[in-house]
Structure 1
């Protein structure tokens, strides 16, 4: 079994063979929830690609874990290529967190919340800030659970115009749509660069939005014969893209 992952704010003072002190909420989770003991392996990461492996030297109190770093010290994982960004329309209820969780576990690199024209849910004011915070916290926890050391970026909510600009800059841009004439499974994908895929709301991407995105270079693609919910479509599409680009090989 792979070692559990814990998030650190920084690696100040970390060096090969040195003891790193994990405390605060992450230390409490390691000591009081995971109940880690001396001799067990752990991975520490800042969630942005920097990470270090070590062995538990001791647990002190309820929220302090002493980790003896291995001889490799702090390492850095390169960003994956092609970079996969999913523009996720806002689902109802907690389905947004479900989408973020499963896309993070699958391997998506960035998630962009999008208030599409047909979205029932709208992020406004304090409610919007709270919802964005939940998405980011979900990405962090799912990143830890799936043993990632580079967590996906959850961007600020984007307008349709901003989504179009993102699509125009991508090496491959697409919109998941049940009426797409071409399957995503045969779409021409780049070997490097960036892939941006739009997942619409339950009511679908509006004709006006499709037209704007088409002018930005994004064609509509279908996944298969069945129509997936917005909270699962991005994960299914990401798995397909990760397999086809060789990132899962």
Structure 2
């Protein structure tokens, strides 16, 4: 079996059914094979001790706590997007270190709701992206809320065309940060005012007009990868 990371909450010795099916049916795991398991707190080298239809049991050989997390809470508030665009946002946000993803329903959002099946799919995307990127923590993906329900934040950055401030000028990398990104049509003037009241500072992402999913990637990259975190 080729090297693989599997998500196993609690490192209980039994993989969740979806993870087990992938290792057994796709990767052809056999007793004695070794792979990596992880949860929100640690990862470990594991050895397969039993396989069956939709079943894989393992024993932990060596635990470790790699330093791959950002170190502060990074919450992304992206406007709800239609189609597969939200999946791309969740994947990129997970790779870049977001700890929670809370979609917002804004005035110009084309999509106004999200079904339970799509929400579960986005959560699976987050798990897969965490596995690929070496993260321990899988970001929480929450059901969308109206923008007016967004709470006040300690430190917030709002991607806003025409803003004068740059991320590096206003960001305190040692404090939790919330990031807000609007839909394709942008946030309305009233929504921008509301976000500022809730603790968000408008920042520029350059002179070009970015698609919503690109803006999420750019803002997160400046906050995490740009700070070497």
TM-score of the pair, normalised by structure 1: 0.80
Aligned to 2:207: 225
Following superposition, the deviation at residue 174 of structure 1 comes to 1.5
Cα distance in 2 for partners of 1:23, 1:79 equals 23
Counterpart of 2:121 (choices 121, 126, 134) is 134
Give the one of 74, 93, 110 matched to 1:84.
74
Separation in structure 2 between the aligned mates of residue 228 and residue 40 of structure 1, nearest angstrom = 45
The answer as to whether partners of 1:27 and 1:64 remain within 8 angstroms in 2 is: yes
Following the alignment from structure 2 to structure 1, what is the Cα–Cα distance between the partners of residues 16 and 71? 34
Cα distance per residue 1:173-206 (max 9 Å; x no partner): 121011111222x332224231111000000110
CA distance in 1 between partners of 2:48 and 2:110 (Å)? 51
1:22 and 1:92 mapped to 2: Cα distance?
A: 32
Q: State the match for 1:212 in structure 2.
A: 194
Structure 2: distance between partners of 1:130 and 1:204: 27
- Cα-Cα RMSD: 2.6
- Give the match for residue 18 of structure 2: 25
1:50 counterpart = 2:41: yes
Gap runs ≥5 in structure 2: none
**Match status 1:179 vs 2:162:** yes
Q: Give the conservation status (yes or no) of the 8 Å contact 2:156–2:178.
A: yes
User: Structure 2-normalised TM-score?
Assistant: 0.86
Q: After superposition, what is the alpha-carbon deviation per residue over 1:193-236, rounded to whole angstroms, capped at 9, x for unaligned?
A: 31111000000110000111122232211111222211221112
CA distance in 2 between partners of 1:32 and 1:176 (Å): 43
Aligned residue pairs: how many?
228
Match status 1:169 vs 2:153? yes
Instruction: State the alpha-carbon separation in 1 of the partners of residues 221 and 147 from structure 2.
Output: 25
Distance change (3 Å), C-alpha of 1:191 and 1:220: closer
Is residue 82–residue 190 contact of structure 1 (8 Å, CA) maintained in 2? no
Residue in structure 1 matched with residue 27 of structure 2 by the alignment: 34
